[in-house]
Amino acid sequence: MSLDRPTILMCPPDFYGIEYEINPWMSRSHQSDTARAGEQWRALHELLVALGADVPLMTPVKGLPDLVFTANAGLVHGATVYLSRFRYSARQGETPVDEAWFTAHGFRCVTLPEGDGMDFEGAGDALFVGDTLFAGYLIRSDAPAMQWIAEEIGCRVIPVQLVDERYYHLDTCFCPLSETEAILYPPAFDEYARKALRESIEHPIIVADEEAARFACNAVVLGEHVVVNTGCPVLERNLRERGYEPHATPLDEFIKAGGSAKCLTLRLDGEDAAAWRNATTK
């Protein structure tokens, strides 16, 4: 696979549905609509392709409804992927499928050591800002797992504790845009984490409760383009003011599982969010 342009892994929602309840958004009595989910997923896929991304697809597997959320497959760093170790057994069957895909596509797969404190849910909880890894922990991933990975990579890690069950993955409440900017929902973090984020992100875009619940922080960043669920007008305005171009696309069917744009994608070529600014100022 050539990674000379933004490359994003997705998985079609053929077997997507609400089959279990592992976060407060999920309710088996509030089922997703298969046809609508398919349409929304395809629209996201088309948008990313139109914005210049290469989008390889994983083959969906019956019985693994959350496999669509490829952000949780692992954390990609160069040609290495740190595979997830899911908290809940309902999702643990995804890892062998992810591993097979990565191996077939030339990645080196690393599995976390056995033992307590080693749960890890991939790019859902681990996001780079420059060379620093921001690591969400407590609800799904464990802090020791994050430390272990950061040591393997040889990077600085800032563990941030998540305290709101609705924002159970870091990518539901934090989205780096560049080395100094990020979309952020502070109430999802404990006080210490809020302070760490304040100190390291110079220019945050803070989202209010209502848009956080529309998954405003769960955006896909492609240079100056930011793809996000519909219903986040304030975020869109703030992005425009800073020179970004927001693209809203409806993803309600996936919010029923607690996911949106970012969760449905996994960047395979490194999330070099600030590159376009450097390119235009050079």
The catalytic residue among 173, 175, 217, 263 is 263
Cβ distance to ligand ARG smaller for residue 126 or 150: 126
| Minimum CB distance to ligand ARG, residue 160 (Å) | 15
Residue 26 vs 48, nearer CB to ligand ARG = 26
Distance between CA atoms of residues 170 and 138, nearest Å: 10
Nearer to ligand ARG, 245 or 252 (CB): 252
Catalytic residue among 11, 45, 77, 169: 169
Q: Which is nearer to ligand ARG, 47 or 68 (CB)?
A: 68
Which of 165, 176, 270, 276 has its CA nearest to residue 218?
A: 176
CB of 264 to ligand ARG, least distance (A): 8
The pairing of beta strand 74-77 with beta strand 80-83: antiparallel
Q: How far is the C-alpha of 121 from the C-alpha of 140, rounded, in Å?
A: 7
Active site includes 203?
A: no
- 104-140 in b/e burial notation, b at 16+ Cβ within 10 A? eeebebbebeeeebbbbbbbbbbbbbeebbbbbbbbb
∠ CA 19-76-193, rounded to 5°:
80
Which residue's Cβ lies closest to ligand ARG? 124
Which of 162, 120, 168 shows the shortest CA–CA distance to 145? Answer: 120
Q: How far is the CB of 33 from ligand ARG (least distance, A)?
A: 16
Positions in the binding site for ligand ARG (CB under 6 A): 22-23, 26, 66, 69, 71-72, 91, 124, 169, 171-172, 257-259, 263
What is the smallest separation between the CB atom of 188 and ligand ARG, expressed in angstroms? 12
256 DSSP 8-state letter:
T
Known catalytic residue at 263? yes
DSSP 82-102: EE-B-SSHHHHTHHHHHHHHH
Active site residues: 169, 263
